[in-house]
Every structure is written in C-alpha cells, then in structure tokens.
Chain A
C-alpha cells in the first residue's frame, strides 16, 4: 500500500473534506493507484535540476500608489448565500450545542 485509509482520512481533514466509510474505502483504493503511478518519478535522477514553477515571462509590475474606486459593496455581496444588513451571515464559530 502506498497510502493507508488512516492517511487518507488525515489528508481529507487537511483538505476540509469528509467521507463516509464506503467513500473512504473507494478513495483510499483509487488514491493508492494514483500514488503508485506518480511514484515512478522516483526513477528519474534530478540531482542538481532546478524546479520549474512557472513558464511565464512574468516580471514584477509596479504602479503609482493612487487610490482608485473599488467594486460597489452590494455588487460584491451579490452571490453571498446568507446575508443580513450588509454582513455575511455564518453560524456560531463555537458549537453551542456541545459547549453549552
């Protein structure tokens, strides 16, 4: 096994995803196949080879520090699923049913 069900569970927690036991079994099996496939990179000698993180000709772009009008607040809030008086509405950060 390249990855265990417990490791898959840990990665899911980092990615803020949750799985049922059945899903966990399926994902663990598929992740194992995928990780075995990508592990073939181990056979390539990359001693001293630099990384490529971009293929763009990008360079730093500077501009004058001049204030410009931003996007209208109502516009920005347009797609918020739950809102109230111009604020984004979310449930309590602490679970009150458990914490009392």
Chain B
C-alpha cells in the first residue's frame, strides 16, 4: 500500500469496496515499516500480533461508510499510555512500564476501530525539539537522515512523512507537534487547550499539554481530530463544548477571511527562505480572497522565558512521582529509602529532564518564587491579551512555524538555550491555549518549510478551512521524500 498516493478517504473506500482487507493493509504496513525503519528509527515498540488480531476483527465484523477510520493503521507517540503495551516516554525510568489502563484518546481510537501498530519515539518526557533526548534512539528526518526530525514528536512526524503510516498521534506542550511537522513537511495540529482529554497522557506541563493528529493532508487531520476530541470526566480541564465535524467546512472558500501576519514573527531572527515562503503564502491567501494585514504581538518575544519557567515548574512537580517505589526503574544496591529516591531519579532521568526539573524546582523555591514563577505567570497574561487584541479584528493568524528548516543531528544538543529558542514561534500558542496548525509551505535546500495558522480558542474549524484552501491551491504537500536513495 503506497501511503504517498492515498489518504484516509481513499483507504476507507478501498476497505469498503473490499479491494483489500484491514488485515492485508496492516500486514503491508508492517512490511513497509520494517523496510524503512532501519534508516528512520521512528518506532520504539511494534505491536504486530495485537494489530493483526485487531485488523482481523474489523474484517470479520465488517465496516460501513460511517466507519471512516475503521481498519486503518495508526501510530502513537510513546508518552500516551496504552493498556498492556509498553509505554516509556523514551525514558529509562519508564523503560519497563506496562500501563494497566488506556489513555482516553486510545479508547476513542479503539471505538473508531483504528489499528494501533505501535509506539513512536520522542524526546524523553516530551522535553526537547530534536528527539535526540530519547534514552533509546535518535529518529532521523524523513527528507535527510543527517538532520533531526524535530521534536518532541519526532517519531510520529518521521513515520508519517516517510510513508510508514498515514496518521499518528503526537503531543504538543510548546510546539512538539507543529515543529516536527514543519521539519518533515506534514500537517500537525495542536488543538485548543481542553479540546482533547489529557487523561493517560504522561504529564509534562499540565496547563499546556495537548494531544493532536499528525497527517499528510489537512482533511485527514480534521477527520482524526473529530475522532479524538470531546469532554472526558477523567480530565476536568477537557471542554464540555460540542465537537463539530471538522471536515464539514472544507470547501475551499475563504473569501473575506481576515488574516493577521505578526511582524514579530517575521523579523531577522527568521531564516530568509522561511520568510519568503510565508510571504508567498500570504499572497496565495490574498488570491483566494482573504485579507492579509500586518499585526503586532509585542509580548510574544517573552514567550520562551515564560514557557521555560512555567513548563519546567509544572514538570518538576509532575515528575516527583518517579521515585522508584510503585512503578518504573529502581536503582540497585541502595542503602535506605532516601537513596531509592535519589539514585533511581539520578540514574533514571536523562540530562535534559534533569535540567528542567532543576529549573522548575529553582523557580518554585522560597526566595525565587515571586521573581520567577509569579513573574512568568503575569507575563503569560500579557501574551494572552496580545492574541485577544488581534483576534478582536482578525479570524486567523499566519506565521512561520519555525525560524529555520531542520538542523543537523548533534548540532545544538549541547547548547540548551539555542535549542530552547527554536520554539519561539510555537510557544505563545500553548501559553494562550489556542489551536495551531503547521502545514507545508515550501522548501529550502530540499528541506520542508512549515507555515503556522493560529485561531482563537475553539476556532479549529476556521483554521482547517483556511489550511484546506491553501493546500488545494498549492502543491507543497504533494512532494514526497526519498528514503536513503530509494522509494
């Protein structure tokens, strides 16, 4: 099955017409994954036996036209817990963790009868922007295997971009879906905070984390988000708002839509080719009948420091639970209980996770709380107000997703501050809880450029409508990578 020549709708049609069975499709998918994953290294765990059994069940029960996702393989970022299937968060501290329950999004995919083929690599606990912080392997960019796939959802992005899968689920705390989507030339959506349940998603920054779909087309993404959204009694921050069918308004009509282009996101810090691609995108939107005007988000430049204080503080609290007692890694040869905690954590966590725990602990400790945590939470308010001011007059914001295309493996890993600055264009969206999408908008030296669309809270329909219209008017999403000289 050539995923480069198909989308969810054509695969669904094939299953419905019995051109192929779900079991055949799943078998073929594993064959493709095994053929390319030596080069891409997207997967941490494959679940072939379970997947084939699930596919057979779909075939036996049959599908109707309403079962848009039934029988279709999907991959899951390994910080989303899967019952009975090892879930590591790419950390040694959870290296042998086998959850006894499913994340709500997994229950939803099971209800839609999708076939979970396995777990995908990430930066440890989703902390990082290159997937180099995984305790187990370094995933490669689908377009150039000497480049990082981005992160932290580098595994899902590379798997979808390299044609191993049509769709995968990622998570996004500061850009972890959108940045790797941009680096791999695919579509990645971070939904509004509260749109999707976080129950069973290994907590990092609880006021920022969201699960979202990573796909090759806008419509596939909208289909997936419709399937995983909705209120969940297990997550009191999940919204009770009704979930629209996100595919309903994909008609290509964006006439008179008002789009703001923030000048702060187009300054000299952004690579020239990336800026040119976004300016071209603005022209495309104008040709489609939208109005594009320059706007300002003056406090967005403080997004990175605000984020690293808030996300790290929340992480330092969330990661207290890894103590070597009830689950996960426990250090050997310990003398006493204190030793269990300190040694299990020191041996179980990688360097980036330790840095964040340290920064968070520092920001929250007596004597620094007001100057760091409280200050950051106040500037967060100003960043939210910036967006509110723009959305009083505009339907959507257009911006680059990243300041550059994918960087080289090993290039930035020893310089945390440079690495953190990569997220400067995605972080403000998480701080304000807004939906954001990255989609293909060009190439620079053979590497994809991502464009970001940002909507007001719960404005995903507008975002998808504009993304779809842009995709229909351009050919960037039709380009496919050549993996290791073959395809």
Contact = CB atoms under 8 A, between A and B. Distances in A.
Interface in A1-38: 3, 7-8, 11-12, 14-19, 27, 30-31, 33-35, 37-38
Among all A-B residue pairs, the 5 with the closest Cβ atoms: A55-B433, A79-B327, A51-B377, A56-B237, A46-B378
A11 B384 CA distance: 31
B174 to A, nearest CB: 14
B330 interface: yes
B239 A17 contact: no
Interface of A: 3, 7-8, 11-12, 14-19, 27, 30-31, 33-35, 37-42, 44, 46, 49-58, 61, 71, 75-76, 78-82, 88, 90-95, 97
Contacts of A94: 336
B342 interface: yes
Nearest to A76: B100
B45 interface: no
Nearest to A61: B236
Interface string B373-393: 011111111101000000000
Contacts of A11: 358, 361-362, 365
A34 B416 contact: yes
Given A41-B376, A50-B381, A81 B358 contact: no
B316 A44 contact: no
B355 interface: yes
28 contacts: A15-B316, A15-B357, A17-B346, A17-B357, A17-B358, A18-B342, A34-B355, A35-B359, A37-B305, A37-B308, A38-B376, A41-B309, A44-B379, A46-B375, A46-B378, A49-B379, A52-B431, A53-B377, A54-B207, A55-B457, A56-B194, A57-B194, A57-B241, A61-B236, A80-B325, A81-B324, A90-B337, A95-B335
B443 interface: no
A24 B97 CA distance: 29
Given A46-B379, A91-B336, A95-B335, 15 more contacts: A16-B323, A33-B417, A34-B417, A38-B359, A51-B378, A51-B381, A52-B431, A55-B207, A58-B237, A71-B100, A78-B100, A79-B98, A81-B324, A81-B329, A91-B339
B358 A90 contact: no
Contacts of A40: 302, 305
Interface string B332-376: 001111011111011001000011011101110100000110111
Interface residues of B, number: 69
Nearest to B324: A81
B403 to A, nearest CB: 16
Contact of B382 (A3, A18, A27, A44): A44
Interface string B128-160: 000000000000000000000000000000000
B328 interface: yes
Contacts of A42: 371, 375
A86 B304 CA distance: 46
A34 B308 contact: yes
Contacts of B33: none
A88 to B, nearest CB: 6
B299 interface: yes
Contact of A41 (B305, B336, B343, B384): B305
Contacts of A41: 302, 305-306, 309, 375-376, 379
A27 B354 contact: yes
A58 B433 CA distance: 13
Contacts of B346: 17-19
A14 B236 contact: no
A91 B335 CA distance: 7
B372 A38 contact: yes
Contact of A17 (B354, B359, B381): B354
Given A27-B358, A49-B382, A33 B416 contact: yes
A93 B379 CA distance: 43
